Structure 1
Amino acid sequence: MTTVEDERARGDRARPDGVRGPRTSIPPGPEARGRWSWSRSDPAAWGLAALSLVVAVGFLLANAAYNQGRFSPPLDDVYIHLQYARQIGLGEFLRYQDGAPVTTGASSLLYVLVLGVAAALGATGGSLLYAALALGVACTVLTTVLTYHLGRTIASRTVGVVAGLLTALCGPLQWGALSGMEVGLVAALATGMVLAFVHEQPGGRFRLTVLLGVLLTLTRPEGLVLTVAVLVGAAVTLVQRRRRGVPTGRADVLTVTLLTLPLIAALAQRLLYRSLTGSAENNGVVAKSWLYQPLDSTIEVLDRVVTGAREAIATYGGLTGVPVVAPGTLVLAALGTVALVVDRPRHRTLAGVLVLGLGGIVLAVATLITTLWHNGRYVTPFLPLVLVLVVLGVRFLARAMPRHGRGAGAALVGVLVLVAVLTLPTWALRSAQQGAGIREASVSVAQWLRGNTPPGSVIAVNDVGATAYFGERPVVDLVGLTTNGLADAANEGTGALYEALSRLPADRRPAYFAVFPSFNGVSFGDMSEAGVLAEEPLTTFQTRSPVRDVALGGVCQASGGCSETDVWAADWSVVGSGDAPDRPVPGRVVDHVDVGDPLDEDAHGYGVDRALVGLVPMTILRGEDRPDGRRMVDSGREIVGGEHFTVRGLTPGVPVTLTARVEAREPLVDRNTQAGVVAVGVDGRPAGEWAFTTDDRAWTQDSFVVPGEMVTGTELTVSLGPRQPYLQPYPDYRSFSYWVSQ
């Protein structure tokens, strides 16, 4: 049995020039005319919409049933969006809290603007969350219907029905769309844009395609990648029309102009961020991208990106045991792409668009440390496009088997649907359990802070959503999403974060920390030992929700990765205590290099010369009680190899004394590795060896004198490194400060 769409497809293949219009007596359908023509009484579309709605409501009910009758978002990031939206509703555009600077911690500008409209219309508190969930339900239903129409348009009604069915039953997509995040909106816009491209391609006028591309670009960075791929496809289409001799005129000029709008929107967003914050980059990218980590090695960054891409392809290609998609999804999607290429000449452009777009999305997401965190929410919005290719791949296989193709195709479709049905409850349970983890950790901590800290107390957090939304206290985001300038510092480790916090005005420094014991190389136990935090937490929250999703990255509070949240009191009386040397130095101090403070390091051209590239010299924080009772706190770095810096304010011809605060501890008991002995260079010339005093208990203060004849100007570039380059033993010590005196 054949469908009208199948007959039309055979007619199209008979046209060597690729021009629409079959040679059969069947009248051209809506795709051939390049116009939208959807029947309101299409039972397949309504049936799929109803199924998607039932599944979505089931997800919400399962979450609520698991959380004592209340829906609990499975991500703390949901509350970040809600907080920005609440502020937008109050007229505070991108101000996370009243009076705070503008920040770019929301990963989706358009999404928070939409929720901001809901807040302005009166949605507050829990009702704003339910407005986000209602939007998610609407978007997942719309995505299902759009997927059906996409499959129907490029192939047949059967392909559309199966693709829509798999979308409605797609657990990862339902989890993301119903989490309160922007996943559903991205999915609807992405699927709609590709469908609009397919419909508008025959006429060469990409009006709706451009509009949806602009919206998608403003919704997620990955959306820009897919939009660019579609724009390339549109440009290719216009070139092909010209080569075929299709008359062109003002319409094509207008179309080309319109195709630049998504790119202009992307540029405008970056210019807006730059004008409001001084940085064109979104804070989330700075905090999460491998490109902003202190790796200092192109091949190290490339390795991590390639690894992330490989893991994403394996997970979303059905090559692992993680229940995201059916086994063999990657193979079927590849066959579906081949089917597009060989089916109709015009669909070759669509195949290129999907390969370029989906491949680019994988690479873009792979640049993030969080590639598959949060159950892969950066990738899941684009699963409907993959599912369309999967169904096309099944049809391609069925057609390759003339005798048994129909039965084999039906059996394979049955397996795909069965896998989706069987994994759907698992994803609903994930949402429920992860929501329990968030309410145990983030929400519970926020409520405790509101009732147990003085009003107006500044709270430092590493999960900034619920604390700001419920805690009614000003917050400092240690990750740097909603507090400008802290993302780079947090990437460098404990010492750099301390220095950045100490540089804040006194009334903006956090009085309390509500944090995991550690995150991204930052240790709050070290802060406590140094004296910045109290000796013991005021209270500790332990999550009891079952451990889930370790293989997929899951959600930290519900996967066992950060089951403890501690609340500490802070003591900032130690700020500046480490600026002066422990003992007097000869002469007058003319310069000071504060190792571990990235701003001061940059001012002195400081850098670590690693003996091994893979060893990241993270910043550390230490404190000591001096004999006079003072508590001294200083930041530093772990050095394996050497370091260099430039000092200024010197008098030429006068000897320079370098005084160092270091920890040179022998790594092995009763072994003399001489790890604290370095070769000193001055302006590229050898100046001798410097042996730091070793001490098993504390840092030490040591000096080295640069002869006056080597001081030829007001500046010196000093290098400390191995006495024997390339080979062990390497210098291995902790560097804190250098004072320069004459």
Structure 2
Amino acid sequence: MWRASRVRLLLWHASAAIPVLGAAAAFYAPALARTRGVWPAPLDDVYIHFGFARAAALGHPLSWIPGNGYSSGGTSLTYPLALAPGYLLGFRGPWLGLFAALLACAALLDLCRSLRRLLEPRAGPGAASSRWVAWVAPLFVVAVPLLDWSWFSGMEVALLGAVLGRALVAVRRVELAPPARRPAEQLRVGLLAALLVATRPEAVALAAPLAVAAAHAAGSLGAVASLARASLPTALLLGAHAAANRAFTGEWGAAGAVRKLILANPYPTPIEKAVEVIKNLAALRVQALESALGGPSWALFLPLLGAIAALDRRSRRLAVPLLIGAYGSLLLVALNATARYQNLRYAAPSLAMLLVAAALGVEALARRGRLAAGVAAALAFAALAAPSRGFARQIDHFARASANIAGQHVEVARRLGARAPRPRRVLLGDAGAIPYLSGIPAIDGLGLGGYRGMPFARASVHGVPAVVELIERLDAAERPDVFALYPSWWGGLADVFGRRVDAVKIEDNVMCAADEKVIYEADWSALAPPGERRDGVVDEVDIADLVDERAHRYAFPSPRGGWVIGALLPGGGGGDGADSAPRFDAGRLIPEGREQSFAIGSVAAIPRGPAVLVLRTDGGGPIALGVAVAAGGEVRVEVAERPADRWSEIRVPLRDVAPGDRIRIRSLLGTFRSFHVWLMRP
């Protein structure tokens, strides 16, 4: 009997390995042919994970590049830690992708094992008729080609699947454990739920209902204590992560949330943001929950099977959290401005939860007897077969996307690494392969890489000139000396501060943001030297420099106002001549009838009394401003037409100002182009 059971278990593992390894080979083999031997990565974000993994292996956890400091821009806290041993074992360069592939296959096999434990029939009526379900469980794991694309992409989705399976098994253990063991099992659920969130942040939509499910299975234990054990680890994780973000970056949220969430954009109105979220939801529903599952009619089978599981007394404690988590995480993903792109990778966790819920539904129906088992088999076949028509397209897309990344990002890294003299630092935009493969330090202009606590992520949302303002804060030797950028993404930076020296252009682009990535040599001579200060100035606000704005509690009119702009004009270094060296400055547009305001710094060396407010602007027609200090009355200032070929300054005498006073500048006539504010002694 023992030997038969052992053989059956070995056969099951073989039957699970065949579809998982077969699917992996189906995706990797054509991609390897397209990349000409470079291990395939269909997303450049894979290399961002590799960068975090290398930093962790070198003793710099939570850093993208050693020396850059803390970064909250990693999509996953746990995945780089799982990859780091591969780096230490010698999987270097693109070949860390091979270790990621082995890890993905192991994670999917672990998910299959968890499903087997959940689906194996317990003793009692219906056990015989549902025994077959555990054998087809691996097919549910690899049945959806769109999900397989993400499973094998080198991203963290496969690891999430393994943790998902173990968390569900932990909830089942709470159900079956004797009262004395339940507290420990509930804590296990809590720890695995926290691990889910650490692996993918939107998994919080599943972690919360899983905690409730574990508490619901408390039996004779107290409900409050049970819920605390199951939910406190996730709460502590979220709190600790937010506190670390605040301490090291000044933001409670992670850089990815600051950069990508629609709600973080200061310019659109709430209605415009809601429209974007609805567009994302519509695209995700049609493309991920319909087309990817075989079409509108066939796509109903997975939710139907999940609903059957939710109605079944034995499986509902797992199925209900899975359904809530699937649709809840999709709602959270819809807040992401990039949700509709990158082959819908953000929908992968939702698809995984729906597939597991559907497998539970098949088992719940099959347990009802032979006739019900036949219906369950038919529904399972329909649900699994319907998406199969997408295999050829997804495999081809995986190969083409991998060729794009190898042909563009990997090639740019090769060329930069071969440059002589070796570049000091490269400026790029959310590009992981370039610094990882070239070994050149980098600053991510989009902010996901993090750089010494500077708010690049939020600056990139406000506009490219705000990113330039942060670079202006760096010492000259610290500023990037080369760029690797998409020109269409970085207008006002690449064309103003860069000289094109090389470019890599790819054909058949299905994944990169543009078909050409350009390499520039940098020239920052138009930026102000760090620490420069005009004579007689007691305080100043560099508009659109987010660090300076935060220090002065600066407020701009939002939404539909305060857009960041930039200009490069002569006469900006304190000189009076139009022939003085051109100087770059960023600013904001203050529409007519709106205002900007700021507080005089508490360290301003000025006693209460008169002062002169100096406002920098560029050329344009006549405008009128209203200036008020603290709660005082507003003074109207008429500004004549200014020349377009140089910076201009507006001087406003103030009678009574002191540190901490708030100064309001309202645009009474026309749009005010505000670039810089100085407070000077009269």
Distance 1:365 1:39, change over 3 A: farther
What CA deviation, in whole Å up to 9, does each residue of 1:161-193 have, x standing for no partner? Answer: 555424323212221121111111111211332
TM-score (norm 2): 0.83
Paired residue type of 2:97: L
Paired residue type of 1:543: I
What displacement does 1:510 show? Answer: 0.5
* 2:673 is the alignment partner of 1:734: yes
C-alpha contact (below 8 Å) 1:102/1:276 kept by paired residues: yes
CA distance in 1, matches of 2:524, 2:77: 36
What displacement does 1:326 show? Answer: 4.3
Alignment partner, residue 632 of structure 1: 583
Paired residue type of 2:492: D
- Identify the match of residue 620 of structure 1 among 565, 579, 589: 565
Distance 1:150 1:372, change over 3 A: farther
C-alpha contact (below 8 Å) 1:88/1:120 kept by paired residues: no
Alignment partner, residue 471 of structure 2: 501
C-alpha contact (below 8 Å) 2:73/2:256 kept by paired residues: yes
What displacement does 1:592 show? Answer: 2.7
Alignment partner, residue 504 of structure 2: 541
Alignment partner, residue 26 of structure 1: none
Q: CA RMSD in A?
A: 3.9
Alignment partner, residue 339 of structure 1: 308
C-alpha contact (below 8 Å) 2:564/2:589 kept by paired residues: yes
Paired residue type of 2:486: F
Alignment partner, residue 574 of structure 2: none
Alignment partner, residue 144 of structure 2: 170
C-alpha contact (below 8 Å) 1:88/1:94 kept by paired residues: yes
Matched residue SS, 1:140: helix
Alignment partner, residue 527 of structure 1: 493
CA distance in 1, matches of 2:190, 2:247: 26
Which residues of 2 match residues 423-502 of structure 1 at below 5 A? Answer: 423-455=390-422, 457-484=424-451, 485=454, 486-502=456-472
Greater alpha carbon shift after TM alignment, 429-438 vs 640-649: 640-649
What displacement does 1:67 show? Answer: 2.0
CA distance in 1, matches of 2:330, 2:152: 23
- Identify the match of residue 352 of structure 1 among 320, 327, 330: 320
What displacement does 1:660 show? Answer: 2.6
Greater alpha carbon shift after TM alignment, 495-504 vs 201-210: 201-210
Paired residue type of 1:606: Y
* 2:634 is the alignment partner of 1:687: yes
CA distance in 2, matches of 1:363, 1:504: 39
CA distance in 1, matches of 2:14, 2:224: 36
CA distance in 2, matches of 1:352, 1:183: 21
CA distance in 1, matches of 2:268, 2:38: 47
What displacement does 1:629 show? Answer: 4.0
Distance 1:681 1:390, change over 3 A: same
C-alpha contact (below 8 Å) 2:308/2:365 kept by paired residues: no
Alignment partner, residue 221 of structure 1: 201
Q: Note the residue ranges of structure 2 that are not aligned, 5 or more in a row.
A: 572-577
Matched residue SS, 2:447: coil
Paired residue type of 2:401: Q
Paired residue type of 2:595: E
CA distance in 1, matches of 2:532, 2:331: 47
What CA deviation, in whole Å up to 9, does each residue of 1:625-652 have, x standing for no partner? Answer: 3533412111111332433224646665
Distance 1:233 1:696, change over 3 A: farther
CA distance in 1, matches of 2:57, 2:584: 43
Percentage of identical aligned residues: 27
* 2:23 is the alignment partner of 1:84: no
C-alpha contact (below 8 Å) 2:597/2:665 kept by paired residues: no
Of the two structures, which has the highest relative contact order with CA contacts closer than 8 Å and spacing of 6 or more? 2
- Identify the match of residue 701 of structure 1 among 648, 657, 679: 648
Alignment partner, residue 72 of structure 1: 40
- Identify the match of residue 184 of structure 1 among 142, 158, 162: 158
Alignment partner, residue 671 of structure 1: none
- Identify the match of residue 563 of structure 1 among 487, 495, 515: 515
CA distance in 2, matches of 1:252, 1:740: 57
Alignment partner, residue 289 of structure 2: 317
Which residues of 2 match residues 572-651 of structure 1 at below 5 A? Answer: 572-576=524-528, 588-610=536-558, 613=559, 615=560, 617-626=562-571, 627-641=578-592, 642-646=594-598, 648=600
Paired residue type of 1:570: A
Alignment partner, residue 64 of structure 2: 96
C-alpha contact (below 8 Å) 1:49/1:145 kept by paired residues: no
TM-score (norm 1): 0.77
What CA deviation, in whole Å up to 9, does each residue of 1:248-284 have, x standing for no partner? Answer: 59x9979964764444445455556667777664333
* 2:489 is the alignment partner of 1:515: no
CA distance in 1, matches of 2:7, 2:237: 33
C-alpha contact (below 8 Å) 1:140/1:174 kept by paired residues: no
C-alpha contact (below 8 Å) 1:55/1:168 kept by paired residues: yes
C-alpha contact (below 8 Å) 2:277/2:335 kept by paired residues: yes
Greater alpha carbon shift after TM alignment, 619-628 vs 153-162: 153-162
What displacement does 1:135 show? Answer: 0.9
Paired residue type of 2:565: I
Alignment partner, residue 13 of structure 1: none
CA distance in 2, matches of 1:500, 1:385: 42
Matched residue SS, 1:101: coil
CA distance in 2, matches of 1:386, 1:57: 24
Matched residue SS, 2:565: strand
Alignment partner, residue 58 of structure 1: 26
What displacement does 1:473 show? Answer: 1.3
Distance 1:252 1:278, change over 3 A: closer
Distance 1:194 1:309, change over 3 A: farther
* 2:304 is the alignment partner of 1:365: no
CA distance in 1, matches of 2:21, 2:31: 16
CA distance in 2, matches of 1:566, 1:466: 15
- Identify the match of residue 677 of structure 1 among 601, 604, 624: 624
What CA deviation, in whole Å up to 9, does each residue of 1:644-663 have, x standing for no partner? Answer: 22464666564x54333224
Alignment partner, residue 552 of structure 1: none
- Identify the match of residue 116 of structure 1 among 59, 73, 84: 84
Paired residue type of 2:539: D
